[in-house]
Structure 1
Amino acid sequence: MSQLRADDAPSRPSFVRRLLRSRETGIVTALAIMVVVLSILEPDFASSDNLLNDARNFSFVGIVVLGQAMVMITGGIDLSVGSVWGLSAVSSAALMAAGFGVVPACLLALLAAAVVGLFNGLCVTKLRMPPFVPTLATMSIARALALVITRGKSIDGFRPDGDWFYAIGGGDFLGLPTPFIIFLVLSVIVSLVLNRSVYGRQLYAVGGNEKAARLTGLDVDNLKISVYVISSLLAGLAGIVEVSYLSSGISNQGVGKELSVIAAAVIGGTNLNGGEGTVLGVFVGAVILEVLRNGLVLLGTDAYWQGVFVGSVIVFAVFIDQLRKGVWRRR
């Protein structure tokens, strides 16, 4: 028998080829191009103050994107995150205005957020509802509750225990905005969970093939419930951090943010059908959205056109991802 020659063995793709095929490489390159072009067209964009302001702004959406990505990895979607964001914000502000301490008020607000997530998860798993239905319902319910709490007015005049609460959203640490630090730490934690834990691998398995996951003995229902609770908790956390930054709670906080959150996840390469997505991708996706928004403002673009540009970026990002996967070559 002839011996197997070295060149007959299947070769592993080179590092460069794997890098070029990586979804993250494409969006990081796109982000770099956007930054360079905007810096040339509008020098103020590259100023340290503007970049730090961008970092603070995209961190609120970024915190929520992390939970949304976990839901989408399992093949679901959470449309209620913007309303949960607002509900948590106004409920924490209202509780502090009523005399509760910072910690009890924030914990109760997060508990309310978790209840919404639990409801979503139970509807999806036990009642076998499509994720779109219960999360759309709780989007309406949570927004209505936020209006009930505020009566359509802002909640001001609360002074929590000292000024440390305001530093959570409006302060800086090591020269960086505190919300960005929170987003960064949470990104590292979620990345470790998804990539280095059994739980994370199980989430990808559920999104990749739910039927096979059930046959292998995975508790698919509890896994799905857990990601909806996590998604709502992170949305609630974003609301509290924003209340700290604004020093007030208003009923329209988080309005429309579910679209930004989903857009950032999609731009970052999270598959709407489940089974695919990375923390690095959604991190960059959140940054791209804010860079685009900020750049359009600095360039004097009509605010009404911003949604057109964001929508175009989403379609283009998905198109490029389909090209990368060779979808049309397989047809």
Structure 2
Amino acid sequence: MTTVPTRPLQSSVAIEDITGLKERSLGQRLLSSQPFWVTIALVIICAVMAWDQPDAFATSDNFFNITRNFAFIGIMAVGMTAVILTGGIDLSVGSLMGLVGVVCGLILQAEYHWAVAILAGLLTGAAAGAVNGFLVAYVGLPAFVVTLGMLSAARSLAIVLSENRMIYEFGPWGETFNAIGGDSILGIANPVWVLAILALIFGFIFNFTAWGNYLYAIGSNEDAARLTGVPVRRVKLQAYIVSGLTAALASVLIVGWQGSAINALGQGYELRVIASTVIGGADLMGGQGGAYGAVIGAALIEVIRNSLLMAGVDANWQGAFVGLFIVLAVLLQRIRGKRSA
């Protein structure tokens, strides 16, 4: 009989304890968040460069160039985040950019409507992502091997389709297609608007939808997620399709901005995309990451690149600095993980 009144008392105490922990963690969550510190680093670098080179760095033209340049990487990084959350990786996004660009260029060259070219490009990216996802989720092949194979296959197909030449004659709809990726609204490049909208959409999806919860659950513990009824295979397939779609979208925008399509488009971009997600707080083991982190990671890499150029550092050293930041980001994750444990 005595247990009846004590159980509600224990429950209420537990609830109060949990609530207290949540209140304390809300105050500490920001300080323990890697995207927060990446944002601080970004602000500091911008402030230093604006003070050191106000006539070069702190100009509207340079701001326009920086935001436009990192928008393409940021768009792909948001899609890559979905894959990394499941504990996977997609090494093919750079090659998919080249393939999608060639597909769009050929369709425009054949004088089809610009909307047909964009749709064909997006379908190409989705199809490649579906192949990756099927082989990873349903066949059980390692994501590294599958997407590495797609990297080679997509680049080879782009070379074959383009006959190893640049495609720049976009037909009667070329001007409109170029405007989609090359114009601006309110002084901000169109790709930046696309990135902002995409980040908001996926930020909501990752945090407030069942599909987003499934991604985190799979990356945290795939076996446990499967036992609780999560459709693991289907969600993995969809994550790789999303990655292929965002790579295709970035390709459409960058081809429109450049006004030409080449099969070498996106070469090496997969490393910058993965770097953006890792720097922004994504864990390559899965279960951790977010849309904002992907965007701020891409922004930091581009600001570093731009700052090095402003400082007169040889462009060949850029990869070394980016690599250093990747290692530091992973090290910070390990340190935070040990503290939380």
TM-score band, normalised by shorter chain: over 0.9
Residue 301 (structure 1) aligned to one of 303, 306, 313: 313
Question: What's the offset of the Cα at 1:53?
Answer: 0.8
Task: Give the aligned residue type for 2:47.
Answer: V
* Alpha-carbon distance in 2 for matches of 1:326, 1:171: 47
- Separation in structure 2 between the aligned mates of residue 106 and residue 113 of structure 1, nearest angstrom: 11
Per-residue CA shift, 1:36-82, capped at 9, x if unaligned?
A: 12222322111111011111000011110011000000110000000
Residue 83 (structure 2) aligns with: 71
- Residue number in structure 2 paired with 1:188: 200
| Cα distance in 2, alignment partners of residues 91 and 157 from structure 1 | 13
Give the one of 43, 46, 51 matched to 1:40.
51
The residue type equivalent to 2:33 in the other structure is S
| CA shift in 2, pair 1:40/1:87, >3 Å | same
Is 1:170–1:245's contact at 8 Å kept on the other side of the alignment? yes
Report the TM-score when normalising by structure 2: 0.91
1:75 & 1:68 partners in 2: Cα distance?
11
Q: Does 1:29 align with 2:31?
A: no
Segments of structure 2 that go 5 or more residues without pairing to the other structure are none
Matching of residue 254 in structure 1 with residue 269 in structure 2 = no
1:222 to 231, 234, 256: 234
1:75-124 deviation per Cα after TM superposition (whole angstroms, max 9, x unaligned): 10000000001110111011110222111122112212111111111111
Matched-pair contact (CA < 8 Å) for 2:79–2:243: yes
Task: Determine the C-alpha separation between the residues in 2 that align with 1:39 and 1:318.
Answer: 29
1:158 pairs with one of 161, 167, 170:
170
Matches of 1:18 and 1:223, distance apart in 2: 28
Deviation at 1:9, TM superposition (A): 5.5
Percent identity over the alignment is: 41
C-alpha distance in 2, partners of 1:167/1:261? 25
SS at match of 1:152: coil
Counterpart residue number, 1:201: 213
Q: CA-to-partner distance for each residue in 1:299-323, whole Å, 9 max, x for gaps?
A: 1111111111110011111212222
In 2, Cα distance between equivalents of 1:66 and 1:74: 14
Residue aligning to 1:279: 291
Task: Find out whether 1:292 has 2:304 as its counterpart.
Answer: yes
RMSD: 2.0
- Write the distance in 2 (CA, Å) between the matches of 1:15 and 1:274: 23
TM-score of the aligned structures, taking structure 1 as reference length: 0.94
Q: What secondary structure does 2:75 align onto?
A: helix
Which sections of structure 1, spanning at least 5 residues, go unmatched? none
Is 1:145 equivalent to 2:157 in the alignment? Answer: yes
- Conserved? CA contact 2:71–2:191, under 8 Å: yes
Q: Is the 8 A contact 1:102 1:160 kept in 2?
A: no
Provide the rounded CA distance (Å) in 1 between the counterparts of 2:16 and 2:116.
Answer: 62
Tell me what 1:174 maps to.
Answer: 186
Relative to structure 1, is the Cα distance of residues 298 and 159 closer, same or farther in structure 2, using a 3 angstrom cutoff? farther
Structure 1 CA distance, aligned partners of 2:334 and 2:51?
A: 31
Name the SS for the 2:111 alignment partner.
Answer: coil
Residue type matched to 2:143 in 1? Answer: P
Paired residue type of 1:42: Q
Alpha-carbon shift at residue 17 of structure 1 (Å): 2.3
Q: Displacement, 1:15?
A: 4.3
Partner Cα separation in structure 1 for residue 50 and residue 271 of structure 2: 27
Q: State whether residues 79 and 136 of structure 1, in contact with CA within 8 Å, keep that contact through their aligned partners in structure 2.
A: yes
Distance (whole Å) between structure 1 residues aligned to residue 171 and residue 52 of structure 2: 43
Secondary structure at the residue paired with 1:161?
Answer: helix
SS of residue matched to 1:87: helix
Tell me what 2:145 maps to.
133
Cα distance between partner residues in 1 of 2:25 and 2:132:
43
Distance 1:133 1:254 in 2: 20
1:325 Cα deviation (Å)?
Answer: 2.5
1:225-244 correspondence runs (5 A) = 225-244=237-256
Once the two structures are TM-superposed, the CA of residue 162 in structure 1 deviates from its matched residue by: 6.5
SS at match of 2:249: helix
Q: Give the number of equivalent residue pairs.
A: 328
Shift of 1:277: 0.6
Aligned to 1:53: 65
Shift of 1:195: 0.9
